[in-house]
Structure 1
Amino acid sequence: MASRSVAVSVVLPAYNEAGTLRKTVDVTLETLASFLPHDSFEVIVAEDGCEDRTPEIAAELAAEDDRVRHVHSDDRLGRGGALERAFQTAAGETLVYFDTDLATDMRHLEELVEAVRSGEYDIATGSRRMQGRKADRPASRDIPSSGFNALVRLCLRSDISDHQCGFKAFDREVLFSVLEDVEDSHWFWDTEVLVRAQRGGYRIKEFPVDWTPRADTKVDLIRDVFGMGSQIGRTWWQLSVQPRITRRTSVVAGTLLTLIALALMTVYLDPATVLAEMAAADPVLVTVAGLIYVLTWPLRGLRYRDILERLGYRERVGFLTGAIFISQTGNLVFPARAGDAVRAYVVKARRGIPYPSGFASLAIERVFDLLTIAALAGTVFVGLALTGATSDLQAALFGSGPDAQQSGRVAVTVAAGVGVAAFVALGAILVSARSDTNYVRTTVTRLSSDSYADYVAEILERFVGDVQTVASDRRAFVTVGTASLLVWTLDVLVAVIVLAAFGVDVSLAALLVVGFFAVSVGNLAKVLPLTPGGIGLYEGAFTVLVVALTPIAAPVALGAAVVDHAIKNIVTVVGGLASMIVLNVSLTTAVEESSGVADSEVEPDTDVSVSEP
């Protein structure tokens, strides 16, 4: 770092700017010298993992003029990451940056710098949207920019009209105070700094600037829609929701979640029917069935532990079982199994397991679940076909009948599709694992050539790679597959015991065969949230298959399906509530306990050096 006294540090974020960098530095030095003493400022080239001659040119400029310094990074840090790293090496009390294309008219630089240097404002930023500016913006830039700024003002309660104008100045102390909470290191960095500064009560000056685009651009699907949109959502959660959730409200929310889950069960389960059928069944056997189902949960925790171990994370079975309980309870409330995201959030926030690995471990678990129950259903179906027992099943499924029969027909159709999709997905995973072609990056780059696409591709590559790690590892495949088989065998045993509790006159062998088929098909059908005829797909499939393959009467079969499903859902929500209380799992609390995880998750290891005379 320079030893001379520096009041103003200007950072130029440079990524592949070999063609313009020298001119930009010359113009910057000349403009600063027009209103500041010669030795009171410095210009820092924040070169960000460039692939052209930008590093060499930046080093030459630093050698030629002692007011110029070069901060080099071997790897791409992202726009925000490069700026932060350069600001940390800066000597000035007033920190400035602007884009190296000099799209903003440099006659505004003095106003920008002096707004902060004078002490009147803590932050100053140019605006291409305020009255009095001249900005010749093509529709390809103006339309997405307008939408983005409108969303930020609406969702994050910002008063700024143009959050991403690359022309800003900061008081050093204020900036580093704000940066303690800023998580993004890419294109949203500017916006997050401004929004958090407003929430911190800092004085911000926004003034109109003349701006001329120096290069054409296109709306980028990944960066603009997924990247920026998700960052708005994250910041909204952290600023607007997180402060309102305490330990007490977390417990209350968990209780409400359970009550809602129980209430929603009545949408597809008639409470009167449930009570009547349970009253008619042998309470001892029903209790035994419930206890056996409880045993499946530590097995799920053990299986999840094995999956995470293959990905390089070792956690306690008790914690993982609780996380599964909570997510499965959420699945009873949220549509399309959206509760699974809760588990990924919990293991990330509480244990620092990155989101890609968290979702990958979930995907692995789901793939093995679907493969196991699809294999069970397929094996039983082949056995039935060989013994000629499928004629009654065909008549039951494709003949006319009541709502339950129609529900069963839809359920079997859905189950068949889901089962085939599971095997196709496994095949694709294994093929891609053995291929040298990077299908993820190829697909992403077809959608976007923006630098943010690299960041998205890295996340997806980590996700796919984690799935492939387990699926292509023979030992892991056998271990996780065996655990899955045990989990679903116990699940079937619960249904068989419930049927026996109704006093059905059917051999144990027949009950096991029908139980494996009915439970497997019913669970495959539940993957899609469909309930034709007002009856749940699980109950409909279970009833039709049991009636078609055994002499059990339809009312008894339906009652057994209702009780079986009720037992499993009740165990799930009770376990979910207990886990929320014991683990104190609040999304907000989890984020607070894992502060700093997000930054370490996305920031690569880099070799950063500083060039100066």
Structure 2
Amino acid sequence: MDGPRDGSGRDSAPRPHATESGVRADGGDAADGDVAADRGGPEAVSVSVVLPAYNEADTIEATVETTLRTLASFLAPGSFEVIVAEDGCADRTPEIADRLAAEDDRVRHFHSDERLGRGGALERAFEAADGDVLVYFDTDLATDMRHLEELIERVRSDEADVATGSRWIPGNVADRPPKRGVPSRVYNGLVRTLLRSDLRDHQCGFKAFSREAFDDLKTEVEDDHWFWDTEMLVRAQRRGFAVAEFPVEWTPKGDTKVDLVRDVFGMGSQIVRTFWQLSVRPRLSRRVGIVAGAVLALVALVLMTQYIDFETVLTEVGDADLALVGAAAVIYVLSWPLRGYRYRDILAELGYHERVGFLTGAVFISQTGNLVFPARAGDLIRAYVVKARRGIPYPSGFASLAAERVFDLLTITSMAGVVLIGYTATGQTAELARTITGAEGAGRVAVIVALGVGLVALAAVVGIALSARSDRDFVRALVYRVSTDSYADFVAGVVGRFVDDLQTVAGTRRGFSRVGAASVAVWTLDVVTALLVLAAFQPELPLVELVAVSFFAVSVGNLAKVLPLSPGGVGLYEGAFTLLVVGLTPLSAELALGAAVLDHAVKNLVTVIGGYASMLGLNVSLTTAVEETREVREHGEEAPELD
């Protein structure tokens, strides 16, 4: 389908599945030259008003008529146009807008077969508009139309480059129901604080832009939905454009709903993204990254002191058998090539074949990043490494990492479940329950987190398995129970792609068995490492009991680390490990705590040494990798190749 065309016959910026009435690809009969002649030529139009419309069949005709009548009261004939930016409507809005455009040459209609988002629809219409003053307001006419002349004149007189109505200027606060007012105040407060905006109201649907300001800002604004106008206002202020905010009389029309997906995840994530781009990224450099990494490492140590008595730990560690500790380190080193083999098999299921040595290095680097950066940001580094060094696309890199994580969760949950069954059979479950419920602090939090993560992991695997056997899109149906907004479409698409890729990896017997067997081997060696460290403290436990408590404590401890509550899971792993060892054995808390800290320290030390060696070998910077993967998630762009 042709892209939209304006009245002069020139092509505007193309958008998929979009047309303008008068030059409709589906059979409109108005000629380009006729439309231009009727308007007196595009140079006669100085003001373009865009009405963003999504399923507005009940109101769009009255809104267009009111808009034309108001504009005609203070603008010369032929100097304005009204554009209905209809955004993939599912009702009669397109037919009504077509008729209005055919009956009045001051009206134009831009149609899209697919949802572009409010921002996308506005931007497309503004690009094709003829006016030098670009205006839009919501089609429900919540803002009193007597303010339209002031809005336009603020920009047309060169008083301002951008003008916006405000419902929150002191002395003129709109009477809004709490369901609208409270979220609006919180949202505007966050924008003012985090994005350093001087405006009171960023979401009032009553704004005007000069052509110069719009053309300058449109390439920088990334959101194409509800955050679009907020981002325009924020970036306009940062670029030095004059932004005028004036009070308007505003009356809420109809009802609204707080959309969880859009308002919390959508708008909130856009504020964070813009804050990162405007306030954080410009200050980043390699030196800053190194300093930040050192600070985060220091913070991790401080966090550790909140959970651990270092005097006790040092006393217990000093009495440990160093030969067994060394053997534990060797065993843990052997687990890393197995991680490389497993990652090779995951990528092979997705159609990519790489050497184990390279992939082991990539795993080392990403795990080292998790020890330095918060919120498991190191996981993203692996996708960067395989893209930059082997050309594996980012979506495949992210999918392979997600598949690995699911196998990890399933394996350690299964290990913990098997041991728990054994404890139940021997009558120790009640004692374990009393230990957990009576504990306080990090240990109890860690175990509760571990149980929750384990249940979620099992539920996710069951859900994925069921969805693989059905033609129904369960993911989209579940998301739509929360929201049907376009952000919900985005979330459903992301989760759906993840499920599809996971089914690709685990959907064959060969793939599931190879990756599953490697996961069992990896985590068995992880447990053996902890077992040898615990044995180094001479606990005087029967071998069967030592093995059982090691499997259970390590499994639950690693489940507790899944949520990024502290860098590298510091404190959570030690808390869960200590609590379970003390609850299931006659060992003292001091001994259990010393073993937990030493076990985690050995594993982290091996990880850091291997990670930095791999970074030197592959010439990879952690800070560069994290920055590039953030850009990919935000923009969908390809990251540059490494030098």
Offset, 1:446: 3.8
| Aligned partner of residue 368 in structure 1, secondary structure | helix
2:280 partner amino acid: V
Q: Is the 8 A contact 1:346 1:585 kept in 2?
A: no
1:423 to 446, 458, 461: 458
Offset, 1:80: 0.8
Q: Is the 8 A contact 2:82 2:107 kept in 1?
A: yes
Offset, 1:203: 0.2
Q: Does 1:184 align with 2:223?
A: yes
1:368 to 401, 404, 407: 407
- Looking at structure 1, the residues matched to 451 and 239 of structure 2 have their Cα atoms a distance apart, in angstroms, of 55
Aligned pairs for 1:387-402 within 5 A:
390=426
Q: Does 1:232 align with 2:271?
A: yes
2:7 aligns with 2
2:112 aligns with 73
| Aligned partner of residue 185 in structure 1, secondary structure | coil
Moved more, 434-443 or 180-189: 434-443
Deviations 1:130-152 (A, max 9, x none): 36769554443333323322332
1:492 aligns with 527
1:144 partner amino acid: P
Q: Does 1:433 align with 2:468?
A: yes
| Aligned partner of residue 536 in structure 1, secondary structure | helix
Between the two proteins, the alignment pairs up a number of residues equal to 584
2:293 aligns with 254
- Looking at structure 1, the residues matched to 273 and 179 of structure 2 have their Cα atoms a distance apart, in angstroms, of 26
Offset, 1:593: 7.4
| Aligned partner of residue 38 in structure 1, secondary structure | coil
Q: Does 1:584 align with 2:627?
A: no
RMSD across aligned positions (CA)? 4.6
Offset, 1:50: 0.7
Q: Is the 8 A contact 1:502 1:560 kept in 2?
A: yes
Aligned pairs for 1:370-385 within 5 A:
370-379=409-418
1:45 to 54, 77, 84: 84
Relative distance call for 1:100 and 1:381 in structure 2 (3 A) is closer
TM-score, scaled relative to structure 1:
0.78
- Looking at structure 2, the residues matched to 239 and 319 of structure 1 have their Cα atoms a distance apart, in angstroms, of 31
| Aligned partner of residue 223 in structure 2, secondary structure | coil
- Looking at structure 2, the residues matched to 356 and 169 of structure 1 have their Cα atoms a distance apart, in angstroms, of 39
Relative distance call for 1:59 and 1:419 in structure 2 (3 A) is closer
1:89 partner amino acid: A
Q: Is the 8 A contact 2:316 2:590 kept in 1?
A: no
1:111 aligns with 150
1:571 aligns with 606
1:223 partner amino acid: R
1:608 aligns with none
| Aligned partner of residue 240 in structure 2, secondary structure | coil
Relative distance call for 1:295 and 1:425 in structure 2 (3 A) is same
1:569 partner amino acid: N
Q: Is the 8 A contact 1:21 1:54 kept in 2?
A: yes
1:203 aligns with 242
1:430 partner amino acid: A
Q: Does 1:322 align with 2:365?
A: yes
Deviations 1:439-496 (A, max 9, x none): 4444444444555544444444445555555455544432331221121122123234
Q: Is the 8 A contact 1:250 1:584 kept in 2?
A: no
2:198 aligns with 159
Relative distance call for 1:26 and 1:164 in structure 2 (3 A) is same
- Looking at structure 1, the residues matched to 95 and 439 of structure 2 have their Cα atoms a distance apart, in angstroms, of 74
| Aligned partner of residue 141 in structure 1, secondary structure | helix
- Looking at structure 2, the residues matched to 42 and 574 of structure 1 have their Cα atoms a distance apart, in angstroms, of 66
Moved more, 533-542 or 350-359: 350-359
Q: Does 1:32 align with 2:71?
A: yes
Relative distance call for 1:293 and 1:91 in structure 2 (3 A) is farther
2:33 aligns with none
Relative distance call for 1:74 and 1:508 in structure 2 (3 A) is same
Deviations 1:206-225 (A, max 9, x none): 12223333323233344333
Unaligned runs of 5+ in 1: 602-613
Q: Does 1:170 align with 2:201?
A: no
Relative distance call for 1:106 and 1:537 in structure 2 (3 A) is closer
2:634 partner amino acid: A
- Looking at structure 1, the residues matched to 572 and 561 of structure 2 have their Cα atoms a distance apart, in angstroms, of 15
Q: Is the 8 A contact 1:522 1:541 kept in 2?
A: no
Q: Does 1:149 align with 2:185?
A: no
2:376 partner amino acid: D
Aligned pairs for 1:6-17 within 5 A:
6-17=45-56
Unaligned runs of 5+ in 2: 1-5, 9-40, 638-643
- Looking at structure 2, the residues matched to 52 and 324 of structure 1 have their Cα atoms a distance apart, in angstroms, of 51
1:609 aligns with none
Relative distance call for 1:112 and 1:583 in structure 2 (3 A) is same
- Looking at structure 1, the residues matched to 560 and 167 of structure 2 have their Cα atoms a distance apart, in angstroms, of 53
2:12 aligns with none
- Looking at structure 2, the residues matched to 149 and 329 of structure 1 have their Cα atoms a distance apart, in angstroms, of 33
The percent of aligned pairs where both chains have the same amino acid is 59
Moved more, 531-540 or 267-276: 531-540
Q: Which has the higher contact order (CA 8 A, sep 6+)?
A: 1
Q: Is the 8 A contact 2:369 2:377 kept in 1?
A: no
| Aligned partner of residue 18 in structure 1, secondary structure | coil
Q: Is the 8 A contact 1:326 1:579 kept in 2?
A: no
- Looking at structure 2, the residues matched to 419 and 255 of structure 1 have their Cα atoms a distance apart, in angstroms, of 32
- Looking at structure 1, the residues matched to 245 and 276 of structure 2 have their Cα atoms a distance apart, in angstroms, of 26
- Looking at structure 2, the residues matched to 593 and 533 of structure 1 have their Cα atoms a distance apart, in angstroms, of 27
| Aligned partner of residue 9 in structure 1, secondary structure | strand
Offset, 1:396: 7.9
Relative distance call for 1:302 and 1:599 in structure 2 (3 A) is same
- Looking at structure 2, the residues matched to 596 and 544 of structure 1 have their Cα atoms a distance apart, in angstroms, of 46
